[in-house]
Amino acid sequence: MPIYMDRHDVAEEVTAEIVAEIHQEDLRIQHKYCCRGITYWYDDGRKTAFCLVEAPNKEAIIEMHAKAHGEVPNTIIEVDDTIVESFLGRIEDPKKSQKRELNIVNNPAFRILMVLKITQHNLQNAPANLSKLTLETIGTLVDLYEGRIVKQTETDLLISYDTTTKAIHSALAIKELLDTSLAITVQSHMGLSAGLPVTKEHGLFEETINTAERLSDISKNRILITSEIQDLYESENLNHPIDKNVIRTIRLSDAHFLNDVMNHLEKEWRNPTLGVADFCAHLGLSTSQLYRKMTTVIYKSINVLVQDFRLQKALELVQRSDRNISEIAFDTGFNSAAYFTKCFQKKYDITPSAYRKNYKPL
């Protein structure tokens, strides 16, 4: 049967003990609905609870909760239990204190996520990748700060941390490692965002991952974090402010702007007429307002952002598809193959044809 995670936003007067009692009510009748409660997380500070349940469908979970105690979930999503464990560190109840009859869980599901990417300075060099030795060293640093690697490729990492302090210290250590060992050939990009596993989006930690991904994409030689992370870090480390020479903080309103821009771009990037007017209409901003926001938040104009996004998509197609260069040009929103080749060469110092000829998959 599929596995689901649901979210409950509970009242201020609810305690961890009350949630534990409610969970026991679920377990008493779960068999009637073909459900199996696996575990749950409760955050007394944020007043949120998340249940991990094996069930035939979402409706069975809602009916079970409604009959057991009436606290139906706000949101339910289907999940992979191994991915849940990667993010949250467990898929079973924490050990119960021997002194307690009831297993009271006050274990938040709030996590800090880091996205690390590397890009090449010059595509004429060998393909950029994180060597086995470097990956092992990064893994050691992640373990040192009690992080968990959720996803890993030769060039990208998604890492989950329980606390802001450990996430920041780990990010600084990883950046120092990469700046020392790989700075000549590649550039590292790091973005950190924090959030809850189930929101309005469909995927586990989807909003938080998207923000961390996009922060890493616009980072320039500094680690990018949200203001929420800075506030949490500085509350945990009084008299030790964030080092602004290494870390750039982006306000939550600017993070929302970044996500709005990227959501529209990801939807419309193949449209060859996509430009400033489209984004102004979508965001409800004037041309001058959009320009100011773009240059202060993303450090690029809309036209440069769109072109860079298309070129990255084109680069992936040159690497992985057998379509010819002209087809790739038109597939990625360029009006002519000649202009596409000119833009590609200007950005990557090599023509797409020459790059395809020299490219060797890792």
Tokens of 283: 């965001």
24 by Cβ neighbours in 10 Å (0-12 / 13-18 / 19+) ranks as middle
Helix 58-68 × helix 16-29 angle, to 10°: 110
Q: What share of the chain is helix, strand, coil (3-state, %, to 5)?
A: 50, 20, 35
Which residues does residue 58 pair with via DSSP β-bridges, in sequence order? none
Q: How far is 355 from 286, CA to CA, in rounded Å?
A: 39
What is the distance, to the nearest Å, from the Cα of residue 173 to the centroid of all Cα atoms in its chain?
20
User: Residue 203: what are its φ and ψ, rounded to 5°?
Assistant: -100, 160
Nearest to 362 by CA among 57, 212, 153: 153
Domain at 3-88, CATH homologous superfamily: ORF SCO4226, nickel-binding ferredoxin-like monomer (3.30.70.3090)
Look at strands 247-250 and 223-226 and give their pairing. parallel
Helix (H) or strand (E) holding 340: helix 337-348
Instruction: Tell me how far apart the alpha carbons of residues 104 and 92 are, in angstroms, rounded to a whole number.
Output: 13
Q: Which helix (H) or strand (E) holds 353?
A: helix 352-358
- Say which residue the tokens 């780990």 belong to: 170
Strand 247-250 versus strand 156-161 pairing type: unpaired
Q: Which amino acid is at 65?
A: H
Question: Which helix (H) or strand (E) is 268 found in, with range?
Answer: helix 252-268
Q: How far apart are CA 160 and CA 204, in angstroms?
A: 12
Contact 116, 174 (CB under 8 A): yes
Structure confidence at residue 125 (pLDDT): 64
Sign of CA dihedral 61, 62, 67, 69: positive
pLDDT at 362: 57
User: Cα–Cα distances in Å, from 95 out to 51, 151, 304?
Assistant: 17, 27, 53
What is the phi-psi region of residue 350: left when phi exceeds 0, alpha when psi lies from -120 to 50, beta otherwise?
beta
Domain edges within the chain: 3-88, 111-250, 253-362
Give which of 23, 4, 8, 5 is closest to 72, Cα–Cα. Answer: 8
Q: What is the pLDDT of residue 296?
A: 94
**pLDDT at position 218, please?**
94
pTM: 0.91
What are the φ/ψ torsions at residue 342 (nearest 5 degrees)?
A: -60, -45
CA 45 from centre of chain:
23
Residue 106: half-sphere exposure toward Cβ, Cα within 13 Å: 10
Element (H, E) at 162: none
Pick the CATH number of 253-362 from 3.50.50.60, 3.90.550.10, 1.10.10.60, 3.40.50.1820: 1.10.10.60
Domain pair 3-88 / 253-362, same fold: no
CA 322 from chain centre, in angstroms, equals 30
What pLDDT was estimated at residue 99? 60
Structural fold of domain 111-250: Alpha-Beta Plaits (3.30.70)
Q: What is the mean pLDDT of each run of 10 residues along the chain (362 residues)?
A: 96 95 96 97 96 98 96 95 96 73 87 91 64 82 96 91 97 91 77 95 92 94 94 93 93 96 96 96 97 95 96 92 94 95 94 87 62
Which pairs with CB-CB distance under 8 Å and at least 24 residues apart come from 335-343? Answer: 335/272, 340/314, 343/307, 343/311
Helix (H, G, I), strand (E, B) or coil at 128: coil
pLDDT for residue 94? 84
- Under a CB-based contact definition with an 8 Å cutoff, are residues 250 and 230 in contact? no
